[in-house]
Amino acid sequence: MKKILLCFGTRPEAIKMASLVHELKKSGKFTVEVCVTAQHREMLDQVLNFFEIVPDYDLDIMKANQTLNELSGRIFISIDSIVEKAKPDVVLVHGDTTTSAICAWAAFHRGIKVGHVEAGLRTFDKLAPFPEEMNRQITGRIADFHFAPTSMSTQHLLNEGVDKKTIVTTGNTVIDSLLWTKNKLDSGYQNDTLDNLRQLIDFNKKVILVTGHRRENFGDGFLNICHALKKLSNNTEVEIVYPVHLNPNVQKPVLELLSSTQNIHLINPLDYPAFVWMMSQSHFIITDSGGVQEEAPSLGKPVLVMRNTTERPEAIDAGTVILVGTDTQKIFETAEELLANNETYKKMQHAHNPYGDGKACMRIVEYLEQKL
Ligand code: UD1
Ligand code: UDP
């Protein structure tokens, strides 16, 4: 039986690979193993727990405030002995993180084939998102199989000369995980985090859900974001809920500037079902997250994206996402418009999702069954 080793390390990779781990195991045609670098620790473990994934290998490499080069070096050294020992036929990596690029590279050095899930997204600006645009391009150059979420991402790969027989347009696996989780919530799933949220937040008001973590927004970008949220909180008819990413470069400005505001709830990163529930209860979302841009349209929630460029233009074209950058006034005014103008809100609220139908993992597994 051919062996597939899935390597991932951060929260979003885990969410997007979780459904694939289960679908591959369900196929029964492969030996499936999971290696986590633990580039993230707590935020990764939240996902592993919920999706009931017990890694076969855990490199446990996270250090507080890690630099990109330290992180890359630690992953390179520790993944090598795993690929040597596990001897997989294929390594699957996801998206654009340091874990993905380094694990792909390490597999290539050992002569092992690489499959890239969420391939072909591009901004063509190597500084935005930084370093993710280059991580994704490097991984794409190394990969033998490319699982592209949309026809646009497939086209990017074709334009770069990638052999069409190695590309499959699958939809994004995040939608598989989202729909599975939503189903679970709709069937009565409960946990303590959900109970706490119900007590903490006044859902009679309009709830704005916020997340942010991009490296290119560190410094002035985050200060501007916080000023915009502070201004928005003067409207006492809104509740702002902000699960703060554990990166110290995010925690510091956010806690310093927003801690003492009554209708801004700064909370720990939420477990995945609680975050999905919060998205579904929110009026709209302000974020710089890639994954949230893909999920929110399925829930009919408008998204203001605090970035100047995005590798996910499909949602902008679909009208559910607006880029607002990190300019305080632009964030504030666009959010105020969405709060005040029902017409604008309704136009953005289509529950149409350009990112998938929840069957991405099935398509990836079918392709691998044929190829291997
Ligand atoms: C990483 C990815 C980014 C992805 C993001 C998702 C890279 C270069 N960046 O960025 O593409 O969008 O994850 O969230 O791969 N920390 C903890 N506990 C955790 C997680 C993080 O304490 O569970 C803190 C640590 O101090 C850590 C720091 O956050 O050093 C930064 O983590 P890192 O993975 O390097 O960067 P992210 O900004 O999380
Ligand atoms: N998410 C979560 N808890 C939170 C915030 C986000 O589970 O408190 C989920 C969200 O639903 C999405 C993913 O984490 O699936 C996005 O992760 P992040 O924004 O950290 O990374 P990105 O998608 O930008 O790479």
Residue 225 and residue 251 in one domain? yes
Answer whether 214 contacts ligand 2 (Cβ < 6 A): no
CB 175 within 8 A of CB 363: no
Whether 42 is catalytic: no
Residue 29 and residue 143 in one domain? yes
Q: Is the pTM of this model over 0.95?
A: yes
pLDDT tens column, 165-218: 999 999 999 999 999 999 999 999 999 999 999 999 999 999 999 999 999 999
Residue 214 and residue 138 in one domain? no
Residue 236 and residue 340 in one domain? yes
Instruction: Identify the pLDDT of residue 318.
Output: 87
Any bridge partners for residue 211, and if so which?
A: 287
Instruction: Identify the pLDDT of residue 353.
Output: 83
pLDDT tens column, 43-102: 999 999 999 999 999 999 999 999 999 999 999 999 999 999 999 999 999 999 999 999
Residue 263 has pLDDT above 80, yes or no: yes
Q: Which ligand is nearest to the CA of 98?
A: 1
3-state secondary structure of 198: helix
- The mean pLDDT value for 270-274 works out to 98
Residue 294 has pLDDT above 80, yes or no: yes
* Cα(202)–Cα(206) distance, integer angstroms: 9
Residue 77 and residue 159 in one domain? yes
Answer whether 295 contacts ligand 2 (Cβ < 6 A): yes
Residue 131 and residue 208 in one domain? no
Q: Which residue has the tokens 């690489």?
A: 114
Q: Dig out the tokens for 361 from the structure.
A: 């993992």
- The mean pLDDT value for 227-249 works out to 98
When mean pLDDT is compared across 86-95, 140-149, 204-213, 306-315, the lowest value belongs to 306-315
Residue 206 and residue 298 in one domain? yes
- The answer as to whether 30 is a domain residue is yes
| Number of domains within the chain | 2
Residue 197 and residue 341 in one domain? yes
Residue 110 and residue 197 in one domain? no
Q: Dig out the tokens for 248 from the structure.
A: 């110290």
Residue 121 and residue 266 in one domain? no
Answer whether 10 contacts ligand 1 (Cβ < 6 A): yes
CB 307 within 8 A of CB 128: yes
Instruction: Identify the pLDDT of residue 351.
Output: 60
CB 94 within 8 A of CB 17: yes
Q: Domain range for residue 224?
A: 191-349
Residue 167 Cα to ligand 1 midpoint, Å, equals 29
Residue 345 and residue 362 in one domain? no
Residue 326 and residue 365 in one domain? no
CB 79 within 8 A of CB 53: no
Whether 213 is catalytic: yes
